[in-house]
Amino acid sequence: MIIIYILLGLLGLIVALLLIAWIHSIVIKDNQVAPTLPEIDKNLSELYATEFSKMIQIKTLSYDSTKNNVKPFKDMQEVMKNIFPNVYSTMEQTIFEGESLLFKWVGKSSDKPMVLMAHQDVVPASKDNWTFEPFSGEITDT
C-alpha cells in the first residue's frame, strides 16, 4: 500500500511540475529583442575576400626541415605584412625555425594576459575533392 502512495505522490509531483511549466510559458513573455544584423559593406566584403584569396593561393604545406620548404611561409609573411601592416608595426615579432611566427602585443597591464593562436600550414589537397583547384583562391558566389 505504501508503494501505491509513493507512486501517486510521484505522479502528483510530475503533474504539478508540468502545470507550473505550462503556466510559466503562458504568463512570462519573451522580452528579448531580436538581434539586428549589421549591414554588410559590399566593397569591404570584396576587399576581404580578395586578401583572403591571396593567402589561400600560397601553398604553405606543413614545414619539413629535411626539405627546408620555408619559401611559401616567407611568401605568406610578405602577404600578411601588406594586408596587416599595423600588426607588424605594433607587435613584437619573433620568427622560429620553419618561419613560425610569434607576435607579442604589449598591453597597458599584464594583469589579464591572453593568448591568441593560429597556424599557417595546411595539409596537401587533391583536386579530386574540390570544385576548383585547392590553392586557386577562386572567389565565387557559391
Vertex 121, ends 115 and 125: CA angle to 5°?
A: 140
Cell numbers found for residue 96: 622560429
Averaged pLDDT score across all residues of the chain: 87
Asked if residues 99 and 63 have their Cβ atoms less than 8 Å apart, the reply is yes
User: What average pLDDT score do residues 62-84 get?
Assistant: 88
- Residue 15: pLDDT band with limits 50, 70, 90: confident
User: Residue 97 contacts by C-beta under 8 Å, 6 or more apart in sequence?
Assistant: 63, 65
Q: What's the pLDDT score for residue 84?
A: 94
Query: How many CB atoms neighbour CB 76 within 10 A?
Result: 20
- pLDDT tier for residue 7 given thresholds of 50, 70 and 90: confident
pLDDT tens digits, residue range 22-46? Answer: 888 888 777 778 889 889 899 999 9
CB 106 within 8 A of CB 74: no
